Amino acid sequence: MIIKEITAKSILTKSGLGCDYAINPYIGCAHGCIYCYARFMKRFTGHSEPWGEFVDVKVNAADTIPNKSLEGKSILFGSVCDAYQPLESKYELMPKILKKLIPLKPSISILTKSDLVLRDISLLKQFSDVEVGFSIPVLDERITKQIEPLAVSAKRRIDALEVLKENGIRTHVFIAPILPFITDWKKIVSLAKDYCDEFWFDKFNPYSACFGQIKTWLMDYDKTLIPKYEEIVSKESNYWKDAEKEIRDFCGKKGIKCRTYF
């Protein structure tokens, strides 16, 4: 892992992802997920290293936040990196950032794969509008180690959801990417529903480098799935249309709030 400490001009950037701003305290992500769409960032950062093998740490991140009210504005943490990836336990950028934001009164949304977020519960509770979501694509820990090498297990993420819920923090689970014939999204919903305010669902992106990474992994996991995946991404396939209907019907019958991003 190549780690560099850098200084940033700003970390508060305008976003079109359903929020006003995004904050990414790091460039790159050590979780190394094979399906990560954010690997496109290499086009802009100048890194030649493989995605997942470098992280730039914005050591002055909190100092770049303007001291002006953000009331009525929304901020997403984790649009192109995980703010609570393993290096956060050493650098502790998030507590500094959150402390700087508390008096500015923005709405906060954090998407992570790490239960390290529990470290900052006392700070999160000081925001009047805050939510924390966990991305969970699979439950099998053996698969997790293959497709999300340095992420914590799904069980630890669900356990963290329970703690957050007990502390009055709004939560969601992002079941993404759904890997056909692998992701057991019904079981994920079943295990997390008591601690989760809403479930979000998304498919894998077949039009990026991620699909190539997924197919390479499938060669070892179960190469018979490759032609099935290629059929799913064909224009004639109704796989995702049918999957979306099944998700909405399932959640509707159980009174579970959900969003699909297909």
CA distance 10 to 8: 5
pLDDT class for 56, splitting at 50, 70, 90? very high
Residue 167: φ, ψ to 5°: -95, 15
Residue 209 pLDDT exceeds 90:
no
Residue 65, φ and ψ in degrees, nearest 5: -75, 120
Give the C-alpha separation, 251 to 255, whole Å: 6
Give me the mean pLDDT over the 186-202 stretch.
Answer: 97
Query: Where are the alpha helices (H) located in the chain, listed in sequence order?
Result: 42-45, 88-91, 93-101, 121-124, 141-147, 154-166, 185-192, 209-222, 225-232, 239-254
Contact call for residues 32 and 85 (beta carbons, < 8 A)? no
Nearest to 190 by CA among 203, 175, 211, 170: 175
Whether residue 208 has pLDDT greater than 70: no
Give the DSSP letter string of 129-166: SEEEEEE-S---HHHHHHHSTTSPPHHHHHHHHHHHHH
CB 35 within 8 A of CB 177: yes
- The pTM of this model reads 0.92
Residue 197 neighbours by CB distance under 10 Å: 16
Inform me whether the pLDDT recorded for 215 exceeds 80: yes
Q: Which two tokens stand for residue 83?
A: 């703010």
229 three-class SS: helix
Per-residue pLDDT of 247-261, as tens digits, reads 999 999 999 999 999
Which backbone phi and psi does 117 adopt, to 5 degrees? -60, -25
Q: Is the pLDDT of residue 34 over 90?
A: no
Map out the domains of the chain with their CATH numbers.
2-260 (3.20.20)
